[in-house]
Amino acid sequence: MPLVCEIVSVGTELLLGSIANTDARDISQGLAEAGIHCYYHTTVGDNPGRLREALRIARERADIIITTGGLGPTCDDLTKQTVCEAFGVPLELHAGTWERILGYFERIGRPVTENNRRQAMLPAGCAVLENDWGTAPGCGFHAGDTWVFMLPGPPKECRPMFQKCLMPLLKSLSGTTIVSRSVRVFGMGESAVEDRLRPLMERSLNPTLAPYAKEGEGMLRVTASARTAEEARRMTEPVVAEVLELLGDVVYGVDVDSLEGVVLELLEREGAGLAAAESCTGGMVAARLTGVPGASKRFAGGVVAYARAVKVNVLGVPDTLIDRHGMVSEEVALGMARGCCRVTGAELGLGLTGLAGPGGDGSGVPVGTVCIALFDARDGSQRTLRRSFGDERDRVRTMASLTALDMVRRKLTRGEGRISV
Amino acid sequence: MPLVCEIVSVGTELLLGSIANTDARDISQGLAEAGIHCYYHTTVGDNPGRLREALRIARERADIIITTGGLGPTCDDLTKQTVCEAFGVPLELHAGTWERILGYFERIGRPVTENNRRQAMLPAGCAVLENDWGTAPGCGFHAGDTWVFMLPGPPKECRPMFQKCLMPLLKSLSGTTIVSRSVRVFGMGESAVEDRLRPLMERSLNPTLAPYAKEGEGMLRVTASARTAEEARRMTEPVVAEVLELLGDVVYGVDVDSLEGVVLELLEREGAGLAAAESCTGGMVAARLTGVPGASKRFAGGVVAYARAVKVNVLGVPDTLIDRHGMVSEEVALGMARGCCRVTGAELGLGLTGLAGPGGDGSGVPVGTVCIALFDARDGSQRTLRRSFGDERDRVRTMASLTALDMVRRKLTRGEGRISV
């Protein structure tokens, strides 16, 4: 019987919609990996009565309860007191934790305030989950049939504490291991992907195959459950191979972090550098690439040519070319791509020009139109395309960035595109 | 008695942690605005039995249930059937919806698949919430004492449908209106802000005053409830004014979208243009600024000078200057800022150079060190600073971007910084 866990998130800011519950997402990923089932997430505000009610319900249907939030020093943090009351465990000052908090404040040079002391009050006999990422420690105890763990709410504290302190424990509590593989897709709509994979999805039980929509792209998850990670991984392999066969070159990677990560690896393999000249995307292509550690080896940099003067003066796109073809044209995109190769010395150059909206620019070009060019300074080869990405500014910018990166991927895989695993 | 709503989110992808529940966040924001209380969010997987259980519990404690997810065409979408069974309402083919779906597929030039027809099956006698953003319509009905609304899961469909179709209805169901104001802070830690505001927070009941942590910055929310929006807004004013008095120039705006939006407005007022030369932030400053519609009026563009060659050849930073002071130095940042003014013709130029990590660069500069310069080409004035932002790559990049934008804000407010409302 697999263990069942329920995540109880505490925080009025969640119920007011000030933030999305990324803690529940991060913890759920870990639970899946540890082979622990999660059937419910419950979110309650900073209200002892309603938290008590949520704990009562969770206790009936789960072996493990993980709470997030309400361990900080602010005046409305009530989780520890309420959980301890609900499970009949007293709170007491934990000397080691109090010393650690004092040390933390000394290190960052801020004064300790009275309410920081409350963070050192912990359930009697609990296991303390040290917080190297903030002041509030987490903790865990076993009461009756239930394991209870309390984690801090801020994602920058919750995520590493869960990963480093709780995951090893959860894996040892659970007998099974789940291995989940992700197949990443760009350039085919969600429905089309699903239509093509439906027969395979329907006959896949272990591993399962399920589609997920991501911002501007697609993802398929293949999840197998077995006694060991090796066995589970081996079970995923034929299904992953069949997905690759069915989808072909729209798959840009398996178990990869991002399209930009794949592009940087391909550049590394080829020994080539990339630069980008961006207008409508305004630095998003560069920001994506430089978000990958070590990007500097293969991404030289770029020019955010938002103003016409920058296109002309920095990138050397001729004024006459812009006048003849218009700012949003494949010709100008190509001029930008050539220009950024020239100024950065990179072998490959991307040029993006488009109209992200919401308003038009008076030229008659429809909002959402984007032209992208990829220039190879080594042999002078070039490709350009013109696309329309609808009328939503964020989506236009995201799709333009991804499409540009995918052009580089397709070029570097020699048009074959298809990967094998 | 204010109405109480519970959000029931359906989707195994939420329980597996594949995505965060942004729908619950977006709907919660709207409920708060409509003066409807939300005490619980519940998330369940694509499992009829557990969804039935969640609906049973929600029905006991809420007047309104809003479900998200499970209306799409995929084989594991079971929300409509389960909700209808739970509330004893039959499903029937809705002719208008079926025609609309056929039209949608004709427009986008994709074939209709058999399971798209299931999307046209709706609860008998329901109100249909048209979906202009996808294929799955939403719907709503009243059963016993409970209002039930079902919205699609993909955020790009859920958010606009909720805003355009459901919000007007919810506002009319609710008698009260809530007005929420946000005070945005950069440059003071969360604990320090709270210490300074604690007495005010503790005596504020209506309006309430509550702190929220955002990525790299701070936010305070002042929320008042009254019969009319005008009255609620008037009630927030003295509290907002007191917060501004207590926090001074770390407040960069009230009810503003972002720091970059404030910077662009100040540039507009001043009639000046900005450019950015970025190394460690790799285009993030540019991407933030160009995320604001209309940014092109005041943001000329920039250079992502990731490689040394780009700093030297494009921005004209002398090789000798880099050798003498090191790549991460206030001198090089200033050279970059000057260079990007020169090449773009902008009045103001930002230069950022730093070490985002995770690894060092062998120069002995600690990971997390960032130097930022702001150059004013009109009078040759300049400011530079050197900061340390810890050892986490994403945080270093975010904090560097925000700090640079805040430098521009402080310059354009003539060092006064303090705003009044």
Contact A1/A61 with Cβ under 8 angstroms?
Answer: no
Report how far apart, in Å, the C-alpha atoms of B210 and of each of A325, B17, B184 are.
53, 28, 12
pLDDT given for residue B80 in this prediction: 92
What DSSP string describes B162-220?
Answer: IIIIIHHHHHHH-S-EEEEEEEEE-SS-HHHHHHHHHHHHHH--SSEEEEEEETTEEEE
A244 against B77, higher pLDDT:
A244
Which amino acid, A82? T
Give the mean model confidence (pLDDT) for residues B162-180. Answer: 87
Report d(CA B186, CA B164) in Å as an integer. Answer: 33
Given a cut of 80, is residue B165 above it in pLDDT?
A: yes
State the pLDDT confidence band at B44, using cuts at 50, 70 and 90.
very high
Mean predicted confidence (pLDDT) in B134-144: 85
Interface residue A342 vs chain B (CB under 8 A)? no
**What pLDDT does B74 receive?**
62
Is A291 close to B397, i.e. CB distance below 8 A?
yes
Chain A within 8 Å of B188 (Cβ-Cβ)?
no
What mean pLDDT do residues B64-74 have?
86
- Return the pLDDT at A76: 54
Kindly report the CATH class assigned to B4-173. Answer: alpha beta
Instruction: Please identify among residues 261-320 of chain A the ones whose CB lies closer than 8 Å to any CB of chain B.
Output: 273, 276, 278, 280-287, 289-291, 293-296, 299-307, 309-310, 313-314
Domain range summary for chain A, segments of one domain joined by +: 4-173, 177-254, 259-412
Please state which CATH number belongs to domain B177-254.
3.30.70.2860
Of A138-152, A355-369, A373-387, B55-69, the poorest mean pLDDT is in A355-369
Quick one: pLDDT at residue A416?
Answer: 53
pLDDT score at B61: 95
Average pLDDT estimate for B2-23 = 93
| CB spacing of B296 vs A305 below 8 angstroms | no
Of A119-123, A218-222, A413-417, B306-310, minimum mean pLDDT range: A413-417
Q: What percent of chain A has pLDDT over 70?
A: 96
- Tokens for B409? 């804000």
Q: What region does A81 belong to: left with phi over 0, alpha with psi -120 to 50, or beta?
A: alpha
Of A40, A219, A302, the CB nearest to B283: A302
For the segment A302-360, what is each residue's pLDDT rounded down to a tens digit? 999 988 888 998 899 999 999 999 999 999 999 999 999 999 999 999 999 999 888 88
Write b or e for each residue in A74-97: b if 16 or more Cβ atoms lie within 10 A of its Cβ, otherwise e.
Answer: bebbbbbebbbbbbebebeebeeb
CA A53 to CA B85: how far, in whole Å? 26
Give the confidence band of B71 by pLDDT, cuts at 50, 70, 90: confident
Helices B190-203, B229-247: crossing angle, 10 deg rounding? 130
Q: Residue B395's pLDDT is what?
A: 87
C-alpha–C-alpha distance, residues B5 and B136, integer Å: 23
Q: Is the pLDDT of residue B415 over 60?
A: no
Mean pLDDT of chain B: 90
Nearest CA-CA distance, residue A254 and chain B, Å = 15
> Which pLDDT tens digit goes with each residue over B204-256?
888 989 887 677 888 998 988 888 889 999 999 999 999 999 999 999 999 99
Of B21, B194, B309, the CB nearest to A344: B309
Closest CB to A41: pick one of B14, B273, B281: B14
pLDDT the model gives residue A252 = 96
Q: Does residue B328 have a pLDDT over 80? A: yes
HEC secondary structure over A165-193: HHHHHHHHHCCCEEEEEEEEECCCCHHHH
The strand pairing partners of A316, in sequence order, are none
Confidence of residue A54 (pLDDT cuts 50, 70, 90): very high
- Give me the pLDDT at residue B360, please: 81
| pLDDT above 90 for A174 | no
Chain segment A246-290, per-residue pLDDT in tens: 999 999 999 999 999 999 999 999 999 999 999 999 999 999 999
Interface test with B, best of A113, A264, A290 (most B CBs within 10 A): A290
pLDDT at B228: 85
Is the model's pLDDT at B421 over the cut of 90?
Answer: no
Predicted pLDDT at A90: 92
CA dist list (Å): A171 to A33, A108, A157, A174, A347: 8, 34, 21, 5, 47
The predicted structure's pLDDT at residue B73: 65
pLDDT for the residue numbered A74: 62
- CA angle, A303 as apex, A300 and A309 as ends, to 5°? 155
Q: How much of chain B is in helix, strand and coil states, percent to nearest 5?
A: 45, 25, 30
Bigger pLDDT: A171 vs B320: B320
Compute the nearest-CA separation of A312 from chain B (Å): 10
What's this model's pTM, rounded to 2 decimal places? Answer: 0.74
Q: How far is A29 from chain B (nearest CA, A)?
A: 5
Domain B259-412 is in which class? alpha beta
- The helix (run of H) or strand (run of E) holding residue B275 is strand B274-278
- Minimal Cβ distance to A343: which of B45, B75, B313: B313
Among A136, A134, A111, A106, residue whose Cα is nearest residue A122: A136
**pLDDT for the residue A139:** 94
How close B142 comes to chain A (CA, Å)? Answer: 24
What pLDDT score was predicted for residue A77? 64
Contact (Cβ atoms closer than 8 angstroms) between residue A224 and residue A206: yes
- Comparing A121-130, A379-388, B411-420, the range with the smallest average pLDDT is B411-420
DSSP state letters, A46-84: S-HHHHHHHHHHHHHH-SEEEEES--SSSTT--HHHHHH
Short-list B153, B39, B302, CA closest to A48: B39
Confidence of residue B419 (pLDDT cuts 50, 70, 90): low
Check if A151 contacts B (Cβ < 8 Å): no
A389 Cβ neighbours under 8 A, 6+ residues apart:
A368, A370, A395, A396, A399, A400
- CA dist., res. B243 & res. B136, Å (int): 45
Minimal Cα distance from A356: which residue of B?
Answer: B293
Residues 128-147 of B with CB under 8 A from A: none
Does B373 contact A at CB distance below 8 Å? no
Dist CA B226 CA B174 (whole Å): 11
Q: At residue A118, does pLDDT exceed 90?
A: no
Among chain A residues, the shortest Cα distance to B113 is held by A195
Contacts across the A-B interface (CB distance below 8 Å): 292
Q: Identical fold at A4-173 and A177-254?
A: no
For residue B358, list chain A residues with Cβ-Cβ distance below 8 A. 293
Supply the pLDDT for residue A266. Answer: 96
* Buried-state track B122-140, b at ≥16 Cβ within 10 A, e below 16: bbeebebbebebbbbbbbb
CA B182, CA B176: separation in Å to the nearest integer? 20
Q: Please state the separation of Cα A144 from the chain's center in Å.
A: 37
- pLDDT score, position A190: 78
Q: Is the peptide bond before A168 cis (omega within 30 degrees of 0)?
A: no
Residues of A within 8 A of B278 (CB-CB) are 283, 286
The predicted pLDDT at position B414 comes to 76
Q: Taking a C-beta distance cutoff of 8 angstroms, is the pair B174, B3 a contact?
A: yes
How far apart are the C-alpha atoms of B115 and B109, rounded to whole Å? 17
DSSP string, A337-356: HHHHHHHH--SEEEEEEE--
B24/A43 CB distance under 8 A: yes
The continuous run of DSSP H or E covering A149 comes out as strand A146-151
CA–CA separation, B39 and B47 (whole Å): 23
Q: How much is the pLDDT for B112? A: 81
Among A296, A288, A304, A391, CA closest to A351: A304
> What is the predicted pLDDT for the residue at B32?
87
Q: Residue B215 — φ and ψ, nearest 5°?
A: -55, 105
Is the pLDDT confidence value at B416 over 70? no
B164 in contact with A, Cβ within 8 Å: no
